[in-house]
Homo-oligomer: A and B are copies of this chain.
Amino acid sequence: MDAAPELFRALGDATRRVILDELADRDGQTLFEICGRLAMKHGLGSSRQAISQHLAVLEQAGLVHTRRQGRYKFHHLDTGPLRAIVERWPIDRQEPLP
């Protein structure tokens, strides 16, 4: 019935959506990179642990894949799960009639 509630739960938080924006702008960032850029570009003062937990939620939703390399962990965006949304509720072709 309700496939992938983690997907919608992940999209429900504003900070997580900004993280997706950030990864869409520059893919493969580490946790500290994301923290820094969120503070710089978006003025978000979230702590490192908060961002880490957000990334875990995004990864559980399949929107972010991780790749370990030494002591670094790179995060990659995957917009594939978003396809389930438009497949579930087909989007009309432009505006309705006034």
Stretch at the interface among A10-18, A28-36, A47-55, A67-75: A10-18
Bound together, the chains give a CA A83 to CA B92 distance in angstroms of: 9
Question: Nearest chain B CB to A22's CB is how many angstroms away?
Answer: 11
How many chain copies?
2
A: residues with CB less than 8 A from B are 1-2, 5, 8-9, 11-12, 14, 17-18, 20-21, 24, 42, 77-80, 82-83, 85-86, 88-92, 95-96
CB <8 Å contact, B88 and A85: no
CB <8 Å contact, B5 and A8: no
| Besides A1-B42, A8-B17, A9-B12, 8 other A-B contacts (C-beta < 8 A) | A5-B14, A8-B11, A21-B89, A24-B89, A78-B92, A79-B90, A80-B92, A82-B91
